[in-house]
Structure 1
Amino acid sequence: MCLGDDPTCAAFAEHRLRYRRDMEPERRAFLKSTFAATGGAAAMLAGGTTLVSPALAQASAAKSAAKGAGQTAHYLLPANADTVHWGYFSKSLKPQVEIDSGDFVTIETLTHHANDDAERMVKGDPGAESVFLWTKEKKGVARRGAGPDDAKLGPGGGLGVHICTGPVAIRGAEPGDVLEVRILDVAPRPSANPQFKGLAFGSNAAAWWGYHYKDLLTGDRPREVVTIYEIDATGRRDWARAAYSFRWPGVTDPNGVEHPTIDYPGLPVDHAKTTRNFEVLKGIRLPIRPHFGTMGLAPAEAEMVNSIPPSYTGGNIDNWRIGKGATMYYPVAVPGALFSVGDPHASQGDSELCGTAIECSLTGTFQFILHKKADLAGTSLESLDFPMIETAEDWVLSGFSYPNYLRDLGPDAQSAIFEKSSIDLAMRDAFRKMRQFLMHAQGLTEDEAISLMSIAVDFGITQVVDGNWGVHAIVKKAIFAERPA
């Protein structure tokens, strides 16, 4: 009998939704007992060390209770053509769900690279099929980016590529507040094709925007190569392996437009025109660390914002540490905060050097905690004006070439950012943010902070492919274990 796990069943879609509804009470009870009753994700943090002090946590919880939100709710937000926005953030998007502080949302996300192998990542999956639908007559999602509607390549012109599910609006969120987002669970989206039951797949495109592209040594130069990876969707295997690779063949899309390079999101690859190399990366196991490359809030500075460059409200940070067990803190810029998530990755290294990670559809479960501006005075979050990552062991600060490029680069910011980024600028921003954090949150003098940074803070290259390049700074919580609170 189909329990929502047999795509060959004639009523697969109905059974899948019924299964999710049936699981909802159990899932909600599990989350409440495991996380809410123990103080949420803070219980997962080593020694209870977290940026949210007990006083701030109590103040935030009290405000939720005062609004009648004492009983948390758990929502499901599926990914389909009606629930995603493709390639942009916008303060004007209608929320897909509105929640109270403390509520949980399970959110499905789709990789924008699924059409690199539609047989494995789209076929038989109603949500993915609705999003990737593209014929001469219709696109399931017409707008794919923040560019003009009349762009040659299609609406958006490919100026923004990530499929984002949402937004989620948080009642009472206002500019100046801080939104805490706890990532409680992350799981791969299984292939719905019965030929690949129990497996999930992802795509890694060594593309024209990669750091390597004009520095190749061998073969035809330049070239774009796509590698498809296989993941165990059951969770029994914590590593991926390469299935095959192929040279980008050039694509003529259903509207007759030619794409010699990967220049527009969701292009359907015709594998009758590719030569697959099934011997790629033989005998190599790639550890998986599922995370969300693009996750954040709507910025205030522009009506429609390209999803590629990250900024002060988050977005396409592409840091593999934004996975299960991590907590994100974001400054709220618009009413409702408007949280969206996408660009799911099965794994990625620091730098995302060739342009992409293992782009693999994932489902995440999140809890949202709103901290009001009035309660932030004197806390570690008081002056937070950038996205910050907290894990069980580390605090991770995100530095960018331009901390708020939409503000810093003027009316042409969304094009200028791709010409002005540098590692030097991103490193300078990461240094300044870590200095501020150590002085403000940990009470160090500037001289103490500088010494500590040089000997105990690790600076790493987050990514060099997203327009607004990134450097992260990591400090271990353990080094403050004996410091008075």
Structure 2
Amino acid sequence: MTTHTLHVDRSVPLAAEPHSGHNRFHPDIVPLIEVAEGDEVVIECRDGVDGQLGPGTTIDDLPTFDSNRIHPLTGPVFVKGAEPGDVLEVEFLDIVPEPHGFTCIVPDLGFLREEITTPFLAHWDIADGFATSQQVPGVRIPGASFMGLTGVAPSARKLAEWVERDQRCQEAGGAVLLQDPVSAVPQGGIGAEGLRTWTPRENGGNMDCKLLTKGAKLMLPVFAEGALFSTGDAHFAQGDGEVCCTAVEMAGTPVVRFTVHKGLAEKRTFAGPVFSRTSYYTDPRIAAPEHFLGVMGMPINEEGDSESENLTLAAKNAVRNMIVLLQERGFSREQAYVICSVAVDLRISNVVDYPNFVVSALLPEMIFG
């Protein structure tokens, strides 16, 4: 086994160190490194807003916030042997937090954006497994660190399809962040053509699923040769939903290991993230079965269009996708539906990353004896 480390200088923004990452998804972004299956990769990451709300900032800095800089990702990582039609398994061996975090309310963002419009900024001190803030006194938030954004690159065909889907969604009145070259990294054509990282999609991305902590495995369909894996937007803690649009945001360092499952994505009737935990997780800071299989649903209809912020459709797709996974184990469609009804939990992972809200379905493995 070989260990690789990807370094970033967190004292400067991504634009000052463009060779260290990107903030758009595009298949032509040059990978930073090539790794083999089984290698461990230590990935230093900036915080989700590219350092714009560091320890010395105040609420007066919110009006100058540049949303085009959000989600500076470290990567891509080229995984040898990963080809379109495969599934890339990402095992999170560790996620190491930095000592500062923040949570903010930005007008026009969040689940209650029409009701709560007053800006707010809390800075958190992260130490000894907890986060505390002078702006939210009397509260100690236990940590369960995870990466809010983890994904692989789209193919050129998927890039074009998803751009068109976003445009149709906006034309139908949905909230969408379309392509924008301002503050894009890489600059130029790739940045202008690349997908914004705000929206979770079939390639993963900004899922904000708090269950992807140390010990979890995330499985993503591969669309481009080498998968071109990237991650960022570390969170120290988050409630399901991330309702004000920010968690305890922080810079962090995940340690990951990859496995390639040949041809698995081609065999499935859905494309999207699947996740699991195969070891007992004793930490009470996340409420989840001891040993589970999970799958995500997004509000993408049978025609392939996004139905913006349709939480019902996202929940139905999570159930549909879990039925597919149970059918892979030999159950009939009807048997799988019954199992979902008696044993599967639906969790709202996020209700803010429009247009594609995320609902997760969790299956406890203990029911299989």
**TM-score bracket relative to the smaller structure:** 0.7 to 0.9
| Percent sequence identity over aligned pairs | 31
Name the structure 1 match of 2:339: 452
What stretches of structure 1 of length at least 5 have no aligned partner?
1-71, 121-152, 190-199, 217-221, 245-279, 410-416
The answer to whether 1:397 aligns with 2:308 is: no
Is this contact kept in 2: 1:311–1:403, CA < 8 A? no
Distance change in 2, residues 1:310/1:201 (3 Å)? same
Give the alignment partner of residue 387 of structure 1, picking from 261, 273, 280: 273
Name the structure 2 match of 1:164: 73
Aligned 1:354-433 pairs, distance under 5 A:
354-373=244-263, 376=264, 382-383=267-268, 385-391=271-277, 392=279, 393-402=291-300, 408-409=304-305, 420-433=308-321
Structure with greater helix percent: 1
Structure with greater strand percent: 2
Task: Using structure 1 for the length normalisation, give the TM-score.
Answer: 0.60
Separation in 2, partners of 1:84, 1:322: 24
Separation in 1, partners of 2:219, 2:341: 25
Separation in 2, partners of 1:444, 1:402: 25
Separation in 1, partners of 2:23, 2:120: 22
What amino acid does structure 1 have at the position aligned with 2:335? E
Tell me the CA shift for residue 361 of structure 1: 0.6
What amino acid does structure 1 have at the position aligned with 2:131? A
What amino acid does structure 2 have at the position aligned with 1:201? H
Name the structure 2 match of 1:53: none
Name the structure 1 match of 2:283: none
Distance change in 2, residues 1:453/1:426 (3 Å)? same
Is this contact kept in 1: 2:239–2:247, CA < 8 A? yes
Give the alignment partner of residue 102 of structure 1, picking from 31, 38, 47: 38
Tell me the CA shift for residue 469 of structure 1: 0.6
Tell me the CA shift for residue 370 of structure 1: 1.6
Name the structure 2 match of 1:464: 351
Name the structure 2 match of 1:116: 53
What amino acid does structure 2 have at the position aligned with 1:423? L
What stretches of structure 2 of length at least 5 have no aligned partner?
10-16, 58-63, 160-192, 280-290
Name the structure 1 match of 2:151: 296
Separation in 1, partners of 2:362, 2:29: 34
CA deviations over 1:178-224 (Å, ceiling 9, x no partner): 111111011112xxxxxxxxxx11111122210122124xxxxx212
What amino acid does structure 2 have at the position aligned with 1:224? P
Give me the CA root mean square deviation. 2.3
Aligned 1:30-179 pairs, distance under 5 A:
72-80=1-9, 81-113=17-49, 114-119=51-56, 158-159=67-68, 161-179=70-88
Separation in 2, partners of 1:109, 1:420: 30
Which one has the largest radius of gyration?
A: 1
Separation in 1, partners of 2:54, 2:6: 25
Tell me the CA shift for residue 426 of structure 1: 0.5
Is this contact kept in 2: 1:188–1:346, CA < 8 A? yes
Distance change in 2, residues 1:164/1:329 (3 Å)? same
Tell me the CA shift for residue 93 of structure 1: 0.5
Is this contact kept in 2: 1:86–1:161, CA < 8 A? no
Separation in 2, partners of 1:164, 1:177: 23
Name the structure 1 match of 2:103: 204
* Corresponding residue pairs, total: 305
Is this contact kept in 1: 2:4–2:40, CA < 8 A? yes
Q: Deviating runs (4+, > 4 A) in structure 1?
A: none
Separation in 1, partners of 2:115, 2:4: 47
Is this contact kept in 1: 2:55–2:100, CA < 8 A? no
Name the structure 2 match of 1:250: none
